[in-house]
Chain A
């Protein structure tokens, strides 16, 4: 099967590809958002702990 027939998805290209595209976008953004929030929290905590140690010393 050639690439061009594959991409046509038997005539259902306009349904199959958006379905996968939306799924990838939604789950990708969800994952990115979650990871960014986690990293940000980690960094803020690290900064806080560092300044605290500084104050204690």
Chain B
């Protein structure tokens, strides 16, 4: 475990991977964007269905990022590994942005289709809770004078909050909601026509890669910042 999660090794590997990751992410984002507007309109929702190509990948990333946050927090708590700590800390703002994006685009879709910007159905409420979990995590991280304590408290919150992720996923099956039931990840296969499903999946992959790229960039930045702090402390010690 430690052999693969060594910060020096991470810096070496990510330096090689990062340029490729950036190129592939950009290409897929452009392709996804073009396909989003080439795709046919929906038989009921017309052109407004295009909001789905942003809304649904953002929602998936919101949950995916939280799962990463919880996994990294667990690893940081159990193995006290610095790379896991950094991964968790840098995942949270990314996840918060995707969740916020999901809420805003959902609102813009809900108004013309359902007739409301917002409703307290189980899906929307649980996603709003997810958004506050991200904000709470980031607040807790900086709430203590001792950064180790802040990190530990935030990691526990991340783990506790993880129960929300399956609730989001299955809310539409467990309770009747304004949202329709699952249409992609469901027993019996997707209920979306391939011409609309393809742009959605490409956008989903593009968003996932964007998340990965930004996570790598931010983790590298955080590791360099740590090194600077160590060097600063060493220099200060030598001078004093």
Contacts and interface: CB of A to CB of B under 8 A. Distances in A.
Q: CB–CB under 8 A between A and B in the complex? A: yes
Interface of A: 9-12, 15-16, 18-20, 22-23, 26-27, 30-31, 34-35, 37-38, 40-42, 44-45, 48, 52
A19 B47 contact: no
Given A15-B111, A41-B228, A45-B224, A35 B217 contact: yes
Interface of B: 41, 46-48, 50-51, 54-55, 58, 93-94, 97, 100-101, 104-105, 108-109, 111-112, 210, 214, 217-218, 220-221, 224-225, 227-228, 231-232, 235
Nearest to A16: B50
Contacts of B111: 15
A19 B210 contact: no
B214 A23 contact: no
A34 B101 contact: no
Contacts of B235: 52
Contacts of B224: 38, 41-42, 44-45
Given A12-B48, A19-B108, A27-B210, A48 B231 contact: yes
Given A11-B46, A15-B111, A30-B214, 5 more contacts: A9-B50, A19-B104, A19-B108, A31-B214, A42-B224
A25 B232 CA distance: 36
B221 A34 contact: yes
